[in-house]
């Protein structure tokens, strides 16, 4: 079975590489030092500091493994290759809620990079998947728990 492709922007890839480097060079050392200090306390069978440090070490090693996999399977979306006529991965889109007449600006990214607080929505999210492939002026309808929401695509930036 092939590994899942990680769809990501250049900026997102840089962030993953930065996190990986920090885990390998800083966090690993910090945890190793905590483990060493905990062992110096003596009997590790009932040593909560040792247990905590070992758990953190396992988490860090797991995250390093996941990051390595995501980076090695990365498919980078080059911003200059994003079509400005059709909503696609990497597009920044201005949409308008037709009921409340509110406008929102989102960048469509892969799920790994999604961050709604930074207006980066996943291509797999309800809004992201609904507007993919659409053009300026298109109206999309999204089923939400509160009912149907209608958006108009105002611009693809």
Question: 78, 75, 86: which is closest to 157 by C-alpha?
Answer: 86
**pLDDT tens digit sequence for 119-142:** 999 999 999 999 999 999 999 999
**pLDDT at 80 > cutoff 80:** no
**pLDDT at 154 > cutoff 70:** yes
**pLDDT at 79 > cutoff 80:** no
User: Which CATH class for the 80-156 domain?
Assistant: alpha beta
Can you tell me the mean pLDDT for 64-77? Answer: 94
**pLDDT tens digit sequence for 6-60:** 889 888 999 999 999 999 999 999 999 999 988 887 777 777 889 999 999 999 9
| Cα distances (Å, whole numbers) of residue 83 to 43, 88, 92, 105, 134 | 62, 7, 11, 17, 11
The DSSP line for 119-131 is: TEEETTSHHHHHH
pLDDT bin (cut points 50, 70, 90) of residue 2 is low
Q: What is the pLDDT of residue 65?
A: 96
Domain parsing of the chain, residue ranges: 6-77, 80-156
Candidate CATH numbers 3.10.20.30, 1.10.287.180, 2.60.120.380, 1.10.3720.10; the one for domain 6-77: 1.10.287.180
Q: What is the pLDDT of residue 1?
A: 45
**pLDDT tens digit sequence for 85-120:** 999 999 999 999 999 999 999 999 998 999 999 999
Angle in degrees, CA 14, 16, 20, rounded to 5: 115
Number of H helices, E strands in the chain: 4, 7
* Domain 6-77 matches domain 80-156 at the CATH topology level: no
Q: Identify the residue with better confidence: 94 or 144.
A: 94
Alpha helix positions (H), the chain: 10-22, 28-40, 48-72, 126-131
């Amino acid at each position: 079975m092939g590994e899942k492709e990680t769809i990501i922007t250049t900026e997102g890839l840089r962030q993953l590489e930065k996190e990986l480097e920090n885990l390998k060079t800083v966090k690993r050392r910090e945890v190793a030092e905590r483990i060493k200090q905990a062992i110096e306390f003596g009997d590790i069978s009932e040593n909560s500091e040792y247990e905590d440090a070992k758990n953190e070490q396992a988490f860090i090693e797991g995250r390093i493994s996941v990051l390595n996999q995501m980076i090695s399977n990365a498919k980078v979306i080059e911003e200059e290759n994003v079509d400005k006529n059709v909503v696609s991965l990497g597009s920044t889109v201005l949409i308008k809620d037709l009921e409340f007449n509110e406008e929102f600006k989102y960048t469509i990214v892969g799920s790994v990079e999604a961050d709604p607080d930074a207006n980066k929505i996943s291509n797999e999210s309800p809004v992201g998947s609904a507007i993919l492939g659409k053009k300026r002026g298109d109206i999309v309808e999204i089923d939400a728990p509160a009912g149907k929401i209608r958006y108009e695509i105002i611009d693809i930036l």
